[in-house]
Amino acid sequence: MTTTPAHSDPARSDPESSGGASTERLTFWEEATRWTLSVDHKKLGLMYIAAGLVFFLIGGVEAAFMRLQLMKADAGIIDPETFNQLFTMHGTTMVFLVGMPILLGFGNYLIPLMVGARDMAFPRLNAFGFWLFIFGGILLYFSYIGSQGLYGAPSAPDVGWFAYAPLTSRTFSRGNSTDYWILGILVSGFGSMTTAINFIATILCMRCPGMKLMRMPMIAWMMLVVAGLVLVAIPVLTAAQAMLLLDRSLGAHFFDPETQGSAVLWQHLFWFFGHPEVYILILPAFGFVSEILPVFSRKAIFGYSLMVAATVGIGFIALGVWAHHMFVIGMGPVLDSFFAAATFLISVPTGIKIFNWIGTMWGGRLRFATPMLFVTGFIAMFVIGGLTGIMLATVPMDWQLSDSYFVVGHFHYVLFGGTVFGIFGAIFYWFPKATGRMLDDKLGKWTFWLLFIGFTLTFMPMHVSGVLGMPRRVYTYEADRGFELWNMISTIGVPVQMAGILVFLWNVVRSLRKGEIAGNDPWDAWTLEWATTSPPPEWNFDRVPTVTSARPLWDLKNPEDPDAHYE
């Protein structure tokens, strides 16, 4: 493949169009002020991703402590109260402060570039959403010093990330650590909703000439569906949290069974948010795969329109599967069957995607650079997680496995093996665009293999300990239950993963300073973001581009055989 160094491009010799990065020296405070006050979608996107990565490290350390405690039976390293806080904060952090912001950050960074716009539809609303997210995250973590827990001492929330009633009632959750959980997530939820509105308005209204809906990059489609899901799901969580707040603060009776409230109602409302949320976290990663895979297979994506249809289908079905989280509460055969069937149904469009990705790779000239490695790993991990998901959707199996470590293994396969691998692939793929420098490929491959091996060591044995009957969220277990070996292997995987993350951080720090200069289009890709400089100027494109097919840069590079001829 051919790479195009930026300096060989005569149209870009003007220093102004290189984003102004190299022309002026700013002091640290000037730079910080510029970023803080910025409404530029690229700066906000990068800040989302950076903040998400910081929370990722925090959530990872919390998980490492849990694994340390569970390494052997009766380890006695962490007391039960702290353990409850650890799994609550780990789950809440990873879903709301890592997954959402990083994926929304990528959406922010990429959508305008990919659809050929100069910014989002509502730039100031965009900044507002970002700062709400930051504020919500800080509020949640402020509970460690600012809240009053069970015995009056500061305590992080300890009710689990889905905060089941009646555990959250005043009776069982004294003090105000649960209120920190409610308010922190409520505030960052407002941020997500404003961002979703922005995504929809940008994708529908800001496309460049010729960018028809069916010519948009897959990632734009995925983000459009994600934004729709956010608009349906997050308000329901907000409503449920408002009810919980009324219960706790003003003595209302929404969820307290002692006073005619219904604990099951909380589960319904929470999972009506919670299951679409799973697709909010995975669909953008599907988008990353659908962008990266074709470029490294040197083929257009297989079955574009079917891919779009499958995405929209997932979006709709995702709204009708939530109660498969609740098979063990005794809903009765009719509801059980409905939600099991709906869950099986959603595996159809998901399977279509898997086959389309394989079809894209089929017969392609595959090049396993780091992004491609992560994306291929994604497909393998996600298929495993998807298959255990189908097992869990089978009601009798779920009765056996619900709330066991099997479930923990399952959702880490889709959320870590899926979403996080997708995110790493995306970071390696778009880092050159955002910074102008490549991430080191050799270190990247180290990161991939360390993460892949560590991940498998940690999460594969959880399926076994789960089938053997180990419940999730226990701070310890007895020695004679047959759990010890599997837990030991799980814990051994943790330092391997940490090594992978450290290599990645070193890679970022090093490449920012002396990484290979990327040029505009280091991967020989086909979407619009590679048509502008790396990093792009604040206005993205000197002249708003006009596109004639789904792969505008292919058309440019191959004027003798443009895609437009086949549309």
Partner 1 sequence: MRTMSNEASVVMSATTTMPSRAKVGMASLIFMESAFFAAFLVTYLYYIGKSPDGPQPLDCLELGPVLFNSACLIASSVTVVFAVKSLARGAVGAFRLWMVVTILLGLEFLVGTGIEWRGLIEGKGLTLQSNAFGTTYYALVGFHAFHVAIGLLMLFGMLLLSLCGCINPKRDHMRVDIATWYWHFVDVVWIFVFTLVYIIGKVPQGGSL
Contact set with partner 1 (CB under 8 A): 4, 9, 11-12, 121-122, 193, 196-198, 200-202, 204-207, 209-210, 212, 227, 231-236, 238-240, 242-243, 246, 250-254, 259-262, 265, 269, 272, 520-521, 528, 531-532, 541-548, 552-553, 555-557, 562, 564
Helix (H) or strand (E) segment spanning residue 304: helix 304-317
Cβ 241 to partner 1, closest distance in Å? 10
Q: Closest CB to partner 1 among 94 and 227?
A: 227
Cβ 277 to partner 1, closest distance in Å? 13
Q: Closest CB to partner 1 among 158 and 179?
A: 179
Cβ 558 to partner 1, closest distance in Å? 11
| Nearest of 232, 254, 19, 182 to residue 113 by alpha carbon | 19
Cβ 261 to partner 1, closest distance in Å? 7
Which neighbouring-strand residues pair with 471? Answer: 404
Cβ 264 to partner 1, closest distance in Å? 9
**For 154, phi and psi rounded to 5 degrees?**
-55, 140
Identity of the amino acid at 242: A
Cis previous bond, 166, omega within 30 = yes
Cβ 210 to partner 1, closest distance in Å? 4
Q: Closest CB to partner 1 among 155 and 532?
A: 532
Q: Closest CB to partner 1 among 148 and 548?
A: 548
Q: Closest CB to partner 1 among 42 and 353?
A: 42
What's the half-sphere exposure (Cβ side, CA atoms, 13 Å) at 517?
8
Whole-number Å distance between alpha carbons of 88 and 405: 16
Q: Closest CB to partner 1 among 36 and 546?
A: 546
Q: Closest CB to partner 1 among 34 and 212?
A: 212
Cβ 15 to partner 1, closest distance in Å? 16
Question: Helix 41-70 crosses helix 484-514 at what angle (to 10 degrees)?
Answer: 150
Compute the chain's Rg from CA coordinates: 24
Mark 230-239 as b/e (b = at least 16 C-beta within 10 Å): beebbebbbe
Quickly tell me which residue has 């799980």 as its tokens.
490
Give one DSSP letter per residue of 87-124, joined into a string.
Answer: HHHHHHIIIIIIIHHHHHHHHHHHHHHHHT-SS-SSHH
C-alpha dihedral over 281, 432, 451, 310, to 10 degrees? Answer: 30
